[in-house]
A and B are shown apart, each in its own frame.
Chain A
Amino acid sequence: MDIAFAGIDIAAFFWFALSIFIICLVLSLFYLFLKDRDFRKIMMALGILPSAFTFLYLGVKFPPVIQPENTLSYFIFRGGVLPIVVSILFILIDRLFYRKKDFKLPFIMFLFVYILSFIFVLSNIFDENIYSSLLIFFTLIVVVLCIILIIKVRIFSSWLFLLSICCFAIGGIALNIYINETEHVANTTLTLFSFFLGYIFLVLIFGLSTSLNEKEGIGVYFTIEKRLKKVEAALNESEQKYRQVVENLNEGIWVLDNNASTTYANSYVAQLLGYTTNEITGKRLFEFMDDNWKKIAEEKLKHILDNVDNECEFEFLRKNKTRISTSVRMSPLFDVDGKYIGALAGVQDISNRKRMESELNEKLDKLQKGELATLNIMEDLQNTIGALTIAETEIREKNQELQKINSELISARGELTVLNRDLEKKVKERTADVEKLLKQKDEFIGQLGHDLKTPLTPLNILLPIVREREQDPQLKELLEVIFNNVYYMKNLVIKTLALAQLNSPNTHLSLQDIDLSMQIRDILDLEIPLFQGKNVILENNIPTETIVQVDLLQIRELFDNLISNAVKYSPEDEVKITFDAKPMDDFIVISVKDTGIGLESDQIRHVFDEFYKADYSRHDLQSTGLGLSICKRIVEKHGGRIWVESQGKGKGSTFFFTLKHHKRTSGEENIICKH
């Protein structure tokens, strides 16, 4: 049965089919013989190759005469269509498993389907109907899968792929119809056109530029060189970086191959060993060690894969034959396939640490020796302690005796306490008695004074009158004696009373602020008539505004006594009395200096005693021996101190006394102080 192709230029068809064949062949071979071919590319080549030959057959034998007896041409024709479908299947599988790195499973699947489809073709080679329906069936499966693919993997090439599949399907169906109904010329054209379009799309898929998607299309392989260069440059750069890092590392990096030869050593290692890096490179690790260490190193390298204790201490031999202690940490190196290719060693200089360790050991040694010595001392001490223990027991015994004595003492003390208590009681009673007596004394003196003073009054008044009126000189002389004695008695009574009063605890001071300088002036004015014809020069050097808080009457008495004392004990007709005052801390020191007979050191001691007279031998009716005692009491009552200084007999004397310097504060005036 001849098949006629109406309206088709046979020659054009031939060249068309031939060109498709060449394209397919080139593509297939390209994939087959790619340097980095993998399953995918083989699959692709296998898928495309049959199609190429199909087109070759079509081109040469066109219009094909399909007859049952022409087995070879039939076989090729039909067998050529099937691989197209299979190759499409491959691409489908490829796409589905695209994201999986392991491509073994899809490849096996592909091979399985590939072989299966040939078996189908061969077994049904003469059954036209089965074959054509099978083709339709396959085509449908592929279309459905294709749609799934598009839904799942939304990439541009999926669309192209779908188009390509559709074209093949249309072409396949048209061809089938053509075979069965030979009069459909148009179908032949459709078949060829569809196949052509399908192949164009396929080529497009594989030939897509990387710009669309780097992982897609055949363009990947054309740009791979460029990319490789880029990668290399990046690699170089990063290697440079790492090299720099490694070079500047404060740790030695030593890379060995599986023969323990040095492939790389950084400058730290070189410096450590005293070589240059170039000198080290290529030499074996063991060349830098003595025999002992060599063995250890070999052992270590052998067990490097066991991953057991890869850090150890090594002693290397330097170029100048000195030794250096290091700490080496070794780790194995593997290539891409996981094969052991050598070792990486990190080297650290630990000579300092070693030295310190040895020093430490030395010290420890010394310490141990010291400890031994201490132990010896301890032994001695123990001996001593033994002796001490004996002594202690003795002491304890003694102590017990002492305790006994102590207890006796305590009981004695108890008795004493009782006695003491009685004593205290008695003392209190006595004190009360004494106080009572003292009070009685004061009262007695007061009464006595009063009783004495009253009878003295008429005597004091009348005697001067009588003495004046008496004409008889002899009687007058006697009256003078009486007068002097009465005068003395009067003084004695007054002064005794004054002293008794000052001694009495019931006497209060009536304090008031006075200007000392002014007061002295007043006192001097009053005193002048009492100087009994002596020429007395008074000098008041007390600065004005020297304020003291005193009992005015008593202070007058004080100055009275001091002045009369000075006048009394000045044998010369002329006496000079100088008053002065100087502040000293809280006090004012007032001095009364005279040019009198002065005092001897013995007299200075007793001058303030009651009834003390400088000259006992003289019967002195002028002096009661109480004036300075009164002065002392007055000063003491005011919280001050009185003393006398003299250069000696005939050199005058100076009386000093202190009074509290009053610094005026508000609300302090006229306070009555109890002393």
Chain B
Amino acid sequence: MTKTILVVDDNPDVITSLKTGLEDATRVYRILGAENGQKCLQMLKDNIIPDVILLDIMMPQMSGWEVFDRIKENPSWNTIPVIFLTARTDRIAKNAGGFLGDDYIEKPFEIVDLKNRIEIVFHNKASKKTLIVGDVFIRKP
């Protein structure tokens, strides 16, 4: 089954290159692109629910953090895994990406590396679901 990946980045070249890199190379992903946060949220509202969102942090108008907050606020979206794409190497970015999102990757990244991370997130999501069920089950009584 082809997985849908939504790439949110103000640089269209990044979207293009990822499309080429991930879609063409593997042919198991469908890449969607959004040039800013609003577009991303609009797509989600249009009920285009991707399997993972690759979210750039430093964007004009609406930053990656903001977009992330909106996604997590919405109960129908908050299960979508988010991988931060960041050019920032300072610790806050790393920590935020690691703690808040499901993962983060630093620009400029190797396509192989990104692919690995995406796969790990998919895997985690699958196991997490059962985990959540179990969690609820345990908490119920």
Q: Does B bind A?
A: yes
Report the minimum CB–CB distance from B117 to chain A (whole Å).
Answer: 14
Q: Which residue of B lies closest to A490 (CB)?
A: B108
Report Cα–Cα, A457/B110, bound state, in Å: 8
Report Cα–Cα, A450/B107, bound state, in Å: 9
- Asked if A449 and B108 sit within 8 Å, CB to CB, the answer is no
| B89: Cβ under 8 A from any A Cβ | yes
Report the minimum CB–CB distance from A162 to chain B (whole Å).
Answer: 140
- Asked if A460 and B88 sit within 8 Å, CB to CB, the answer is no
Report the minimum CB–CB distance from B55 to chain A (whole Å).
Answer: 14
| B58: Cβ under 8 A from any A Cβ | yes
Residues of A within 8 A of B24 (CB): 465
Q: Which residue of A457, A490, A501 contacts B17 across the interface (Cβ within 8 Å)?
A: A457
Residues of B within 8 A of A498 (CB): 89
- Asked if A458 and B14 sit within 8 Å, CB to CB, the answer is yes
Q: Which residue of B lies closest to A462 (CB)?
A: B17
- Asked if B20 and A449 sit within 8 Å, CB to CB, the answer is no
Report Cα–Cα, A115/B94, bound state, in Å: 158
Report the minimum CB–CB distance from B22 to chain A (whole Å).
Answer: 9
- Asked if A460 and B110 sit within 8 Å, CB to CB, the answer is yes
| A666: Cβ under 8 A from any B Cβ | no
Q: Encode A434-451 as 1/0 by CB contact (under 8 A) with B.
A: 000000000000100111
Report Cα–Cα, A154/B89, bound state, in Å: 139
- Asked if A450 and B20 sit within 8 Å, CB to CB, the answer is no
- Asked if B87 and A449 sit within 8 Å, CB to CB, the answer is yes
Report the minimum CB–CB distance from B28 to chain A (whole Å).
Answer: 16
| A454: Cβ under 8 A from any B Cβ | yes
Count class of interface residues, chain A: 20 to 34
| A543: Cβ under 8 A from any B Cβ | no
Report the count of interface residues on B (CB-CB < 8 A): 23
- Asked if A461 and B58 sit within 8 Å, CB to CB, the answer is no
- Asked if A458 and B91 sit within 8 Å, CB to CB, the answer is no
Report the minimum CB–CB distance from A534 to chain B (whole Å).
Answer: 20
Taking A461-B17, A462-B21 as contacts, is the C-beta distance between A453 and B108 under 8 angstroms? yes
Residues of A within 8 A of B107 (CB): 453-454, 456-457
Residues of A within 8 A of B88 (CB): 446, 450
- Asked if A454 and B87 sit within 8 Å, CB to CB, the answer is yes
Report Cα–Cα, A459/B18, bound state, in Å: 11
Q: Which residue of A lies closest to B16 (CB)?
A: A458
Q: Which residue of A lies closest to B13 (CB)?
A: A458
- Asked if A464 and B111 sit within 8 Å, CB to CB, the answer is yes
| A510: Cβ under 8 A from any B Cβ | yes
Residues of A within 8 A of B87 (CB): 449-451, 453-454, 457
Report Cα–Cα, A508/B111, bound state, in Å: 30
| A494: Cβ under 8 A from any B Cβ | yes
Taking A453-B108, A457-B109 as contacts, is the C-beta distance between A501 and B16 under 8 angstroms? no
| B25: Cβ under 8 A from any A Cβ | yes
| A604: Cβ under 8 A from any B Cβ | no
Residues of B within 8 A of A494 (CB): 89
- Asked if A460 and B109 sit within 8 Å, CB to CB, the answer is yes
Taking A450-B58, A455-B13 as contacts, is the C-beta distance between A497 and B89 under 8 angstroms? yes
| B76: Cβ under 8 A from any A Cβ | no
Report Cα–Cα, A446/B94, bound state, in Å: 15
- Asked if B90 and A457 sit within 8 Å, CB to CB, the answer is no
> Would you list 6 pairs from A and B whose C-beta atoms are within 8 A, ordered by A residue?
A453-B107, A454-B87, A457-B14, A458-B14, A460-B109, A461-B109
Given A458-B13, A465-B20, 19 more contacts at CB 8 Å?
A: A446-B88, A450-B87, A451-B87, A453-B87, A453-B107, A454-B87, A455-B13, A457-B11, A457-B17, A457-B87, A458-B11, A458-B14, A459-B17, A460-B108, A460-B110, A461-B18, A462-B20, A465-B25, A501-B90
Q: Which residues of B contact A (CB under 8 A)?
A: 11, 13-14, 16-18, 20-21, 24-25, 58, 87-91, 94, 106-111
